[in-house]
Structure 1
Amino acid sequence: MYITSTPTSENSMKAQLHLKTVMPSLPRAAKCAAALALFAASHAFASSGAPTVAPGKLTIGADLTYPPYDYVQDADPAGFDPAFMTKLAGHLKLQPGFVDTRFANLILGVNANRFDVIASALYVTPERAKQIDFVPYLKTGGSLLALSHTGFEPKKPEDLCGKRVSSIKGASWIPKLNDVSKQVCTPAGRGAIDVREFETSPEAAQAVLSHAVDAQFEDSAVAQMTVNKLGGRVAITSTTPLYPVVIGLGVKKGNDALLAQLKSAFASMKQLGEYQALLKQYNVAEPTGNDIAQALGTASN
């Protein structure tokens, strides 16, 4: 919902009316004290909005190297997250500003008050939920990429045993790949999965092109864009979304006022159809309540 100044104006007017009624009968010192009290009350109401790093602005941490979610086009942030956050900030009557931050440093950044919120295709996980609060807003999955026409076409994580795999640094699927490596690959004598992390998704894709790795594990939407951008030199080899995930905005724990206002602004976007239009434009989905519970590890069996 929009943040308005109605409560401030209404309460201020009531206070002023009360002072006008009683002020003539007060001694001079009491009049001064009453005036100061009115000023303090008005200031308190005016400052009742969610605290942000910079007044009047919503500062957003995003890794702007991750199209189609977050990237730079003509010197401006572009992609799903900038489009989503610009509309969200509008509902909050705040000016959006983006801080380009590598993915592995996003949670550190929001907790260090470098920005107010993370909007960077950040997967919701129980581990991350211990560090930040989430506003879930998207659902996606993972895909495997490999060089075209080489004969290596991994369909699932178990097909990566004994192979080198590139990934963006800090991705949520890395622990899952390591678990497959320990629980499936090594016991079967097929060799461990050698996960190699890179600062950006384009660097991870370049590792495939240069034969530094055998495959890349990537978000499905990003994987499709990578295939298109590289002119078919790499191909998506998996046939179903791997490790379906929920994406969420990240807010520092304890910043409950901002968290509540983000949720309200999100609800307004849905009511106006703005959110649904973005989902359709970027070919992504809204997570269900069960999806969110599964992502947070709170789903009942």
Structure 2
Amino acid sequence: MKNRSLVSLLSLAAVCAACVIPCVASASATLTPGVLAVGSDMTLPPHTYLDHGKPAGFDPEFVTKVASYINAAPKFVDTRFANLILGLTGDRYDIVASALYVTPERTKVVDFVPYFMTGGSLMVSSSSTLKPKTVADLCGKKVGSIKGAAWIKFINNVSDKACVAAGKPAVQVHEYDTSAETAQAVLSGALDAQYEDVSISGMIVERSGGRLQISSVGPLDPVVCGLAMKKGNTELKAEIELAIAQMKKKGEYQSLLKKYHLAEPTDEAIAKATGVTQ
């Protein structure tokens, strides 16, 4: 009886051991197998927004194509910009795709796959006499920004060097939940200007019916944007990098960038964005 029990236990152990290997090998790189959950602020056209309730813009198009290469169905989770990284680290979604700037500070919290370059613009009311070309022209003025944007640090640095150091009042940064709310504050006179991504500002100006205009020239503080994923998820990162490589080989990557007037990030720009010297 004892021997039979021992044989039974050994057989059960062998079965369990055999089960462990395939379970580990088939573990998904995403939170839900076959699904790529994407955190995105759907208030940032033309990068990402809702068109009749459906995700639209560059990021949804790009991620949908990436997802097709890793055999996953994209599932977009609309999240305000300031909470995107918090939701990622809290396992609400697998990646963030929302024109998220790559910075040395952010690379300490999440991993990035850089996928395009952009920059900033200054917008003002068309009726305003203030037409700032750079942030240095805004000493003592109120500038609006979407909450949690990486360029707030850039604005404050310029303010310290060009304004405060010269004995002028600092640039006053006011943060809003969405870019649309910020633009409304400019139109109402609550703000003197708005700092926004070049593509997004172009869309906002177009939709303002001539009430807003871009006063700056060229992209301010050119930056790299990246798809963000939880730190240490090397499997998902490798899958996404391979998918993008396949997109480039077929010309799909280049076509999407051209469609949205974006540029591919250079190795030098990526090194600067991540804080890794070449």
Query: Which band: TM-score by shorter chain?
Result: over 0.9
Cα distance in 2, alignment partners of residues 173 and 64 from structure 1 = 19
Measure how far apart 1:202 and its partner are.
Answer: 0.3
Please give the residue correspondences for 1:1-301 in structure 2 after superposition, counting only pairs within 5 Å: 38-45=18-25, 47-50=26-29, 52-300=30-278
CA distances 1:251-299 after superposition (whole Å, capped 9, x unpaired) = 1112111111111111111112111111111110110111101111223
CA distances 1:43-77 after superposition (whole Å, capped 9, x unpaired) = 443x1442x22222110000001100010001111
Measure how far apart 1:126 and its partner are.
Answer: 0.5
Q: Secondary structure of 1:291's partner?
A: helix
Cα distance in 2, alignment partners of residues 124 and 93 from structure 1 = 26
Provide structure 1 residue ranges, at least 5 long, that are not aligned to the other structure: 1-26
Moved more, 32-41 or 208-217: 32-41
Name the count of aligned residue pairs.
272
Structure with max Cα Rg = 1
Q: Which amino acid aligns with 1:93?
A: N
Measure how far apart 1:149 and its partner are.
Answer: 3.7
TM superposition outliers: structure 1 runs of 4+ over 3 Å: 27-45
How does the TM-score come out when normalised to structure 1?
0.85
Cα distance in 2, alignment partners of residues 171 and 33 from structure 1 = 53
Cα distance in 1, alignment partners of residues 145 and 18 from structure 2 = 57
Q: Which amino acid aligns with 1:158?
A: A
Provide structure 2 residue ranges, at least 5 long, that are not aligned to the other structure: 1-6
Moved more, 54-63 or 34-43: 34-43
Q: Which amino acid aligns with 1:271?
A: K
Identity fraction in percent: 52
Q: Which amino acid aligns with 1:257?
A: E
Q: Which amino acid aligns with 2:101?
A: Y
How does the TM-score come out when normalised to structure 2?
0.92
CA distances 1:183-225 after superposition (whole Å, capped 9, x unpaired) = 2212323211010000000001001000000000010011111
Moved more, 267-276 or 284-293: 267-276
Q: Which amino acid aligns with 1:88?
A: V
